[in-house]
Chain A
Amino acid sequence: MNSSQTLPLSAEQSAPDSRIERLVRIMLPVVVLAMGVAAWEIVVRVNDIPPYVLPGPGAVFRTLLNDWPVLWRSLLTTLQTTLEGFVAATVGGIVLALLFNQSKWLEYSLFPYAVILQVTPVIAIAPLLLIYLPQQSAVIVCAWIVGFFPVLSNTTLGLNSVDRNLAGLFQLYGASRLQTLRYLKLPSALPFILGGLRIAGGLSLIGAVVAEIAAGSAGAGSGLAYRIAESGYRLNIPRMFAALLLLSAAGIVIYGLLALTSHLLLRRWHESALGKES
């Protein structure tokens, strides 16, 4: 199928090459990170910058360890909000796309409003939501608003991308609407849906953070974004950096988990999840 099968010689030569290339691809960003952190520390030390202006990476790391109980609770709060918003976005986006797929009238009636919800900046909606809803629900609604649109539009695209001959086959064998949906449309749309979820995961975190900052109230149930705002008022800059570091890590983990799920579900059949070798 590929040239390496017909030419075993070139395959043997290319194997170590690709291993080295993979190692380089992992090592290069790590080296850049190490150099950046080192430069940061040196700049802070040489210029003797006080920590309330710019803390060095060492100070940030110490704060992360010292304030861990507070930050950990905040992280859990933010993650819970993100998860709830993400689940709502996933369910809402997929259900709405299925309804649109079954009824053109419903799609024509509601789709413009889905777009309006998407293009209106969530940071502008958040204060309004906080007036009308309890804080915890308002935060989740914010996470939902930013997350559901990519799920909706990707699922719609997937449901409309069904192979025409396969659709004819289902018609020939007298498949019901439900059977066509379950055995043909949903599996066809799965790669698209998973692509939408990958975007929605990161966006739900953004929605949660935006709403927390807008809410800005204190208390045990306050998330990481609130910690950042609070630390800013108190000029506790190292803690701001530490909280930011945690948010960033949370975003990476969410993306990684969703990418892994997508890979595991699609690896046997979809082009996007197949290696270049096959």
Chain B
Amino acid sequence: MADSIAVSEASARAAGLAVSLRGVTKVYDNGVTALGPLDLDVRKGEFVSLLGPSGCGKSTALRLIAGLNAPTSGTVGVSQTRRQAPGGRAIGFVFQEPTLMPWTRVRENVRLPLKLAHAPAAEANARVSEALAQVGLAEFADAYPRELSGGMKMRVSLARALVTDPDILLMDEPFAALDEITRFRLNNDLLSLWRDLRKTVIFVTHSVFESVYLSQRVIVMTSRPGRIGAEFHIDAAEPRGEDFRTSADYAGYCRKVSNALAPLRQGLPGS
């Protein structure tokens, strides 16, 4: 298995791909097939959303890419380039919950990945400040997580994912628990970060509107087991903003994506 991952890493690099999944399946210990077989290529710098109902395996796919779980079969290839900075990592992960350590300040929460990688203190300090500035929380560095609102906690979580300067940002329904106003603002901030930093983003969501607004490509997943049901390229003038959110194009894309989800919904028990 280790060999096949190495091979696909090489081929992924050659094709300019950030992530490449080939025939990936995941069967849990209780015999439930959560995923696949799944084939997915994500280009470098691309913003891709995985959209689907709860339990369709989209979070499982993300955890496989992150290396948090191992696939039952198939290969997961992740490109590993330019790791010159100490503490730099290929992948940053933003969980559904902010997942902050409540016992320490915002600054220390963001510093964690660097501390675990034994990065030199002076450089770590600079990068923590930079990451906090990127998410607009520079003046809250010394606050404790419980003193922040839900949206601000999520920004800290995002800063922590950015602090290692990852090539690939994996986001698992990060804004699902936020109110719509906060979510729209974070959507815009995420888009501008993506434009500035040119990261590859794989964004898991169950919101049609969010996926269309953010992504270059929306992948609709079917459930049990999770497979790719449909794929949409969202072509919109960059940079996207509130104009796009209220445009007819946006509404059209949302309708198309919703229609692709509809047959899946009917297939679910109890709906």
In the complex, A187 has a CB within 8 A of chain B: yes
Inter-chain contact A269/B66, CB cutoff 8 Å: no
CB distance from B148 to the nearest CB of A (A): 12
Contacts of A72 in B (CB 8 A): none
**B115 and A183 within 8 A (CB):** yes
Total B residues in contact with A, Cβ cutoff 8 Å: 23
B95–A169 touching, CB < 8 Å: yes
A172 in contact with B101 (CB, 8 Å): no
B99 lies within 8 A of A175 (CB): no
Docked Cα-Cα span, A173 to B116, in Å, equals 7
A174 touches B116 (CB 8 A): yes
Taking a contact as CB atoms under 8 Å apart, the answer to whether B112 and A163 are in contact is no
Residues on B with beta carbons closer than 8 Å to the beta carbon of A25: none
Q: Which residues of B contact A187 (CB under 8 A)?
A: 101, 103-104
Interface size bracket, A side: 20 to 34
Contact among A169, A173, A268 with B117 in the assembled complex (CB-CB below 8 Å): A173
Chain B residues 96-111 with CB under 8 Å of chain A are: 96-97, 99, 101-104
Q: Chain B residues near A175 (CB, 8 Å)?
A: 116
Query: B101 to A184, Cβ gap below 8 A?
Result: yes
Given known pairs A168-B68, A170-B116, A183-B115, the reply for A269 and B97 (CB within 8 Å) is no
Residue of A nearest to B91 (CB): A172
Alpha-carbon distance A184/B112, docked complex (angstroms)? 10
CB <8 Å contact, B116 and A268: no
On whether A269 and B103 interact (CB within 8 A), knowing A172-B66, A172-B93, A174-B117, the answer reads yes
B102 near A269 (CB under 8 angstroms)?
Answer: yes
Mask: chain B, 138-179; 1 = CB below 8 Å from A; 0 = not:
000000111000000000000000001000000000000000
Does A179 have its Cβ within 8 Å of any Cβ on chain B?
A: yes
Contact partner of B97 among A165, A172, A174, A179, CB < 8 A?
A: A165
Q: Which residue of the partner chain A has the closest CB to B98?
A: A165
Establish whether residues A183 and B144, one from each chain, have CB atoms under 8 Å apart when the complex forms: no
Return A171 CB to nearest CB of chain B, in Å.
6
- Given A174-B116, A183-B116, output 15 extra A-B contacts at Cβ < 8 Å: A165-B95, A165-B99, A168-B68, A169-B93, A171-B68, A172-B67, A172-B68, A172-B91, A172-B93, A173-B89, A175-B116, A269-B102, A269-B104, A270-B103, A274-B146
